Amino acid sequence: MSTIRIDGSQGEGGGQIVRSSLALSLATGTPIVIENIRAGRKRPGLMRQHRTALLAAAEIGHAEVEGAEVGSKSLSFAPQTIAGGDYTFSIGTAGSTTLVLQTIVLALLRADGPSRVQIEGGTHNPFAPPFDYLEKVYVPLLRRMGAEIEITLERPGFYPAGGGVIIVETQPIGRFEPIDLTERGELRKITGRVWLSALPRSIADREIAELCNRMTLDRGAIEVEDVADPVGPGNAVHLQVESDGITELFTTFGEHHVSAERVARNVAEEVRRYLKSGLPVGPYLADQIVLPLALAGGGAFATTAPTRHTKTHIDVIERFLPVRVTETRLDRHHHRFEVEKI
């Protein structure tokens, strides 16, 4: 099979190109070379979490690898058979466990047997989907596509301390089934969750009061998760929007010098924009669902204007798979994407 060469500086030029290319290499058995890895970033080359994703992909795919060092600006990866089994991967920092998982999970669903994977690192990180997003949004959609998968939060780990653990169990499936995510349907309910790690309960109380005020929610609709035996401080606020056709989840993280009220206000504003759009798929989910749809060989979704991440992801996918991802702009804020075999 011919090797595909990927320019890691193309499009958004970040770590997603590495993760997407590895996921597609595993899924198709195609050897790859990636050059100019994260060339446009302040610290170019592989970071710890990218290296963990690479090593995890190599282990489950019995792959030959070169360039698997932190800071490496190029790598080669040649997978063989995807093997089910019992795996443990540790990032060693607060790097995102969920991004490592998304690199390997679709391949594991097509492995030669069941798998149990434990990943240690950060479970709630800015600029990465938190565990709750996988639990409430991503994994349920994979199940709708035929996946047999369970995901468990063994221990939360917030950036920058990390120390979290997630466990994923999969059964192999024959193929992914296409799904249509072009209609949101009627709104069912909005619920919330506030995570506190080594921080005062008063922060959660203030965030909940602001959410109830901004979203006209009952206080009972928002739960508080206070981390037992925390590794380090952390705060995250989630709002989950359940509709007939889809569930979406929005998150903001507490930061130094940002008030609890502002943290809650930010996520409330994000949800209000989503509700106003009338569209089912938010910008982060658009970025994540296109690969499963491509592996299914079909499907569609409607979203707002796509991000550079999404466009870059699509460009990489079309290098590996005999599919075309067609974007139709219905108006300024309404974009329809359709995946079809070619």
The domain limits of the chain are: 1-81, 82-177, 187-277, 285-342
174 pLDDT above the threshold of 90: no
Six-digit token pair at 123?
A: 């479970």
First-to-last alpha carbon distance for the chain, in angstroms, is 19
- The residue written with tokens 């990927």 in the block is 6
1 pLDDT above the threshold of 80: no
- Catalytic status, residue 309: yes
Average pLDDT over the chain, rounded to an integer? 95
Q: Which residues pair with 43 in a beta bridge?
A: none
CATH no. for 82-177:
3.65.10.20
pLDDT for position 43: 87
Query: 176: pLDDT confidence band, cut at 50, 70 and 90?
Result: very high
Query: 332: pLDDT confidence band, cut at 50, 70 and 90?
Result: confident
Query: 57: pLDDT confidence band, cut at 50, 70 and 90?
Result: very high
Which contiguous run of DSSP H or E holds residue 241? strand 234-243
pLDDT for position 232: 92
pLDDT for position 94: 87
Q: CA–CA separation, 291 vs 285, rounded Å? A: 11
- The model's pLDDT over 201-228, given as tens digits with 9 standing for 90+, comes to 999 999 999 999 999 999 999 999 999 9
- The model's pLDDT over 25-34, given as tens digits with 9 standing for 90+, comes to 999 999 999 9
> Which architecture, in CATH terms, is 187-277?
2-Layer Sandwich (3.30)
108 pLDDT above the threshold of 90: yes
Domains 1-81 and 187-277 fall in the same CATH topology? no
- The model's pLDDT over 245-285, given as tens digits with 9 standing for 90+, comes to 999 999 999 998 999 999 999 999 999 999 999 999 998 99
Q: What is the DSSP letter of 176?
A: P
Average pLDDT over residues 83-109: 94
Q: Which of 50, 124, 238, 309 is catalytic?
A: 309
> Which architecture, in CATH terms, is 1-81?
Alpha-beta prism (3.65)
* Helix ranges restricted to H, the chain: 15-28, 48-60, 97-108, 131-133, 139-144, 201-215, 260-277, 283-296, 308-320
pLDDT for position 41: 84
pLDDT for position 131: 97
pLDDT for position 42: 84
- The model's pLDDT over 281-320, given as tens digits with 9 standing for 90+, comes to 998 999 999 999 999 999 999 999 888 889 999 999 999 9
Smallest CA-to-CA distance from 41 within 65, 14, 67 is with 14
40 pLDDT above the threshold of 80: no
The residue type at 247:
T
Task: Find how far residue 302's CA is from the centre of its chain.
Answer: 18
This prediction's pTM: 0.95
pLDDT for position 78: 97
Query: 238: pLDDT confidence band, cut at 50, 70 and 90?
Result: very high
pLDDT for position 300: 98
